[in-house]
Amino acid sequence: MKHISSRDNAQFKRLKGLAEDARSRRAEAATLIDGEHLLEAALESDWPLSRLLLQEGMENSPVVRSALAALGKRGLSPEVLVLAPALFKALSPVVTPTGILAEIPLHGPRRETDSTDDVLVLAGVQDAGNLGTLLRTAAAAGCRQAWLDRQCAQAWSPKAMRAGMGAQFRLVIEEGCDLVQRLANCDRQVLATSLADDSVSLYALDLRVPSVWVFGSEGQGVPTDLLALASRKVTIQMPGMIESLNVGAAAAVCLFEQVRQRI
């Protein structure tokens, strides 16, 4: 175990970059995950761990002990850094840190993709929390891929990781995609939510075939150039007098209608 107590420590500065800055995460192809739940999710998905970061004084807490035991059981012994509490807190995205963080690479075990995968497509979802929640819902519904355009928040930020609850380890995520090109060359049905007159009720669709689902940002919805490439524009019927659903709610309704039809 190596101890770090100075903010000038080069390793600490590098970690702070991973915690705070999307460019650092991209340059290093690494990110930080917080707490035992995400660590467990990473282990279950055979995701590699680069190093563990512990908060000084919490090395023997039940959470840390069980995390170390889980690593040991898998024969893993990553480098362990122990950080002074103030330094640890500077790296953690949560108000009450659990005392354990891990650095992981952005690329995990190789996963095959194929043309029968359901895909979540996001255009311009800039809020990291919303993005993480959408990935979580998609992974839960059985989607295997996610295509994100350049306007989306980074899927690997600590905030998106927290909201994703492990979804990032389950999906094959491609960021910075040219969605027009992807959708134009897509061999599956492309479905996009829209309030336009020519859209079809969600409940009238056949969702037993592989589907590519496109969702847009809260304010803007799905961009018109992508809507034009959809096989179907889809509306969720709403009996109440509300203009629209939150994008996370809309995606949950659509993706789980697909789950229902396939049971």
Give min distance, CB of 10 to its own copies, in A: 35
Stretch of 63-71, 98-106, 166-174, 175-183 lying at the interface with its own copies (CB under 8 A): 166-174
Binder to its own copies among 39, 88, 128, 170 (CB under 8 A)?
170
Q: What CA–CA distance (Å, rounded) separates 168 from 236?
A: 27
Print burial letters for 231-255: b (CB count within 10 Å at least 16), e (below 16). Answer: ebbbbbeeeeeeeeeebbebbbbbb
Please name the amino acid found at residue 97: P
- Phi, psi of 196, deg, nearest 5: -65, 160
Q: With binding defined as CB under 8 A, does residue 35 bind its own copies?
A: no
In the chain, the amino acid numbered 207 is: L
Q: Tell the smallest beta-carbon distance from residue 249 to its own copies (Å).
A: 4
166 is an interface residue for its own copies by CB under 8 A: yes
Q: Does 244 bind its own copies (CB under 8 A)?
A: yes
How far apart, in whole angstroms, are the C-alpha atoms of residue 97 and residue 73?
25
For its own copies, the closer CB: 75 or 240: 240
Asked whether position 243 contacts its own copies by CB under 8 A, the answer is yes
Count of C-beta atoms within a 10 Å radius of residue 51? 17
The upper half-sphere exposure of residue 198, i.e. CA atoms within 13 Å in the direction of its Cβ, equals 5
Q: How far is the CB of 142 from its own copies (least distance, A)?
A: 4
Among 29, 76, 209, 259, binds its own copies (CB under 8 A): 259
Calculate helix-pair angle for 128-140, 247-262, nearest 10 degrees.
10
235 binds its own copies (CB under 8 A): no
223 sits near its own copies (criterion: CB under 8 A): no
Evaluated on CA atoms 102, 31, 50, 11, the torsion sign reads negative
Asked if 229 is part of the footprint of its own copies (rule: CB under 8 A), the reply reads no
Question: Cβ 78 to its own copies, closest distance in Å?
Answer: 23
- Three-state DSSP at 75 gives coil
66 counts as binding its own copies under rule CB under 8 A: no
Q: Which of 92, 98, 137, 211 binds its own copies (CB under 8 A)?
A: 137
Find the length of the chain.
263
Please give the residue ranges that form the binding site for its own copies (CB under 8 A). Answer: 37, 41, 44, 133, 136-143, 163, 165-167, 170, 201, 203, 236-246, 248-253, 256-257, 259-260, 262-263
